[in-house]
Amino acid sequence: MTRDEILKASSMPAFSPSYPHGPYRFVGREYLIVTYETDPAALRAALPEPLEPAPGNLAFYEWMKMPDSSGFGDYEESGSGIHALYKGEPCLFSVQMYVDDEPPITAGREIWGFPKKWGQPRLKVMKDTLTGALYYDEERVALGTMTYKHHSLADRLDEVRQGLGKLQVNLKLIPDVDGKPKVAQLVGYNLEEIVVHGAWEGEARLHLIPHVNCRVADLPVRRVVGGRHQVVDFVLPFGRVLHDYLA
């Protein structure tokens, strides 16, 4: 294998790459997002500097079903995040994510710094309830429920699209061959080519169960603000470095 061939490889292993070159397009991606007020000390401990908490001590827990994802296939994902500020700009910081498919775990960590681990999320409609569950090592660690399509946002789809396009931030950490930090960055990105097929709001509930290796309950639920159900298409572009901790 020549140097040029090596540098053309999209990912490891070079003989059978985990994921192809981008761009990465998602079609019909379905979300259940439960926004809630959490403990301010726990929120601050999970939020890396120089990010600051947004007013209200708000976190969110989400389930995502991806039936058609370029290079990644058909999979599901679940995880938590924080409403934050980067130099005064509202943003969403990803705290942890659990995924049932290897390519998006590998690509997400290596390219954008998504905090992904293996888990078993499930999002489905159970009679009159949109229901999300997360299992880790066969134990259920999260359960989210929302009324099914009670309040349509058909007259606010531009607002939904603008919300999806706001700054999103990850903490990317990659060690060198000696185990010391090689990459330590805050990575920002904004979704592109967003199409909203439908969006709904409604009553929601969230139950998080403490688990030492799946720490979704470390941002405890104090008060549920509400639920959002949406179906969208978009392109996930490559990110940009907002802050380099090794500079």
In whole angstroms, how large is the CA radius of gyration of the chain? 18
Q: Is 8 in the active site?
A: no
Distance, C-alpha 196 to centroid of its chain: 18
What is the b/e burial string over 88-99, where b = at least 16 CB atoms within 10 angstroms of the residue's CB? Answer: eeebbbbbbbbb
| Integer angstrom CA distances of residue 247 from 49, 181, 184, 243, 244 | 15, 12, 9, 9, 5
Residue 247: Cβ within 10 Å count: 7
- Tell me if 167 sits within 8 A of 83, measured CB to CB: no
What lies within 8 Å, CB to CB, of 52 at 6+ separation is 84, 85, 86
DSSP 156: G
Annotated active-site residue in 116, 124, 166, 182: 116
For every residue of 63-130, DSSP letters joined together read: EEEEEEETTTEEEEEEEEEEEEEETTEEEEEEEEEEES-HHHHHHIIIII---EEE-EEEEEEETTEE
Query: How many residues belong to the chain?
Result: 247
Any idea which residues carry the catalytic annotation? 116
